[in-house]
Amino acid sequence: QVTLKESGPALVKPTQTLTLTCTFSGFSLNTTAMRVSWIRQPPGKALEWLARIDWDDDKFYSTSLKTRLTISKDTSKNQVVLTMTNMDPVDTATYYCARSYGASGGYFDYWGQGTLVTVSS
């Protein structure tokens, strides 16, 4: 059974750095063609893909947020970590991690429940 769960602070102040952890089970990021992405959704708005890390440690970032994002993995703990620097109120959103796998590896077949992050002083 594949599960993913996001964890991190519910509230951050402007200019602070956000660190989110995705803890997953039921699959391994050592498996060829396995990938984990972070996606966010501001309240009442659309989904926005942020970053992806692959089984071979390749990393990809949204061009608009690239300078602020870092994604990493700890395969021994089955975790993927996203850091976002210089947080702003417009970054208030539900942050999801999601898995993609295989030849159609750009689609997200399993998602976490999401974690709401509010940016406010």
Partner 1 sequence: EIVLTQSPATLSLSPGERATLSCRASQSVSTYLAWYQQKPGQAPRLLIYDASNRATGIPARFSGSGSGTDFTLTISSLEPEDFAVYYCQQRRNWMYTFGQGTKLEIK
**Using an 8 Å Cβ cutoff, are 119 and 12 in contact?**
yes
Does residue 78 interact with partner 1 by CB under 8 A?
Answer: no
Tokens representing 113 are 């429940």
Rg (CA), the chain: 14
Q: For residues 50 and 60, give the distance between their C-alpha atoms in angstroms, rounded to a whole number.
A: 9
Least distance CB 40 / partner 1 (angstroms): 11
Residue 109 neighbours by CB under 8 Å, 6+ apart? 99, 100, 101
Number of residues that bind partner 1 (CB under 8 A): 22
Q: Contacting partner 1 (CB under 8 A), which of 112, 115, 117, 119?
A: 112
Does residue 101 interact with partner 1 by CB under 8 A?
Answer: no
Site residues for partner 1, 15-74, by CB under 8 A, read 37, 46-49, 52, 60, 62-64
Interface region with partner 1, contact rule CB under 8 A, candidates 11-19, 26-34, 84-92, 106-114: 106-114
Q: Is 89 helix (H, G, I), strand (E, B) or coil?
A: helix
Residue linked to tokens 């999401």: 114
Does residue 5 interact with partner 1 by CB under 8 A?
Answer: no
Can you give the binding site for partner 1, defined by CB under 8 A? Answer: 37, 46-49, 52, 60, 62-64, 96, 98, 104-109, 111-114
